[in-house]
Amino acid sequence: MVFTAPVTFSGRIWGRTGCNFDKNGNGSCLTGDCGPSLKCTGTGKTPASLAEFTLGNLDFYDVSLVDGFNVPISVTPLNGKGNCSVAGCNGDLRQNCPSELAVKNNGKVIGCRSACDVFNTDEYCCRGNYGNPSTCQPTFYSKKFKEDCPTAYSYAYDDPTSIFTCSGTDYVVAFCSSRKKPVCTYHDHKLICSGSKGLRSLISNLWMIFLGLTLIANCKMIIF
């Protein structure tokens, strides 16, 4: 799906899993739920992997697991200028989620909550005496998140390896995919792929994102 965002767009994208909707679009999802209908009416219920964007002359983008993890996600800029790194995950954290953070359905791990969400302490939530980058440091749990998603936010002040800037680019948001895998977008009879040499996007203001994507059953790679 193609979404042409306004120049000043600021928002987040996430995937929903384990969804069941009737013919009228009423229902719910096991993770990332955002209201009683297919069309989201609010923010996604935690745990949810987030792709976050603030667009302008210089775009800021990241993948955040501060609210937990439900699916691998990556953000790949194509043909941009600046620190246009790929944000996101290499692996599936659900397979390595500490048991005390795990969200299960019928015995299967379907999500991994953040330590802040589970324990609600200042240390894990980066508040109070831990409310600044000097005192809020990586913990055992944030390091576990970082192992599978090395270029995603694992806690609130995980800025140096997690937030990126780029300009004049298209973005491909891929769910259930490693950030190491190439992605492509096809627009105006042009195939543009990450890692390609000499290919240029013809429309610099096209932003490839899918809002409130519903992922059902097995996790598979989806390219926009």
Under DSSP, the state recorded for 200 is -
Question: Could you tell me if residue 207 is inside a domain?
Answer: yes
Question: Could you tell me if residue 127 is inside a domain?
Answer: no
Q: How many residues does the chain have?
A: 224
Question: Could you tell me if residue 125 is inside a domain?
Answer: no
Question: Could you tell me if residue 134 is inside a domain?
Answer: no
What is the CATH classification number for the domain harbouring 77?
2.60.110.10
**195 is in which domain, residue-wise?**
10-92+144-215
- What digits encode the pLDDT tens for the residues 101-153? 999 999 999 999 999 999 999 999 999 999 999 999 999 999 999 999 999 99
Beta-strand (E) ranges in 29-137? 50-54, 59-64, 73-78, 87-88, 102-105, 108-112
Query: What is the number of structural domains in the chain?
Result: 1
- What digits encode the pLDDT tens for the residues 5-47? 888 899 999 999 999 999 999 999 999 999 999 988 888 899 9
**Distance, C-alpha 204 to centroid of its chain:** 22
Question: Could you tell me if residue 139 is inside a domain?
Answer: no
Question: Could you tell me if residue 71 is inside a domain?
Answer: yes
Give the amino acid at 88: G
Question: Could you tell me if residue 21 is inside a domain?
Answer: yes
Question: Could you tell me if residue 182 is inside a domain?
Answer: yes
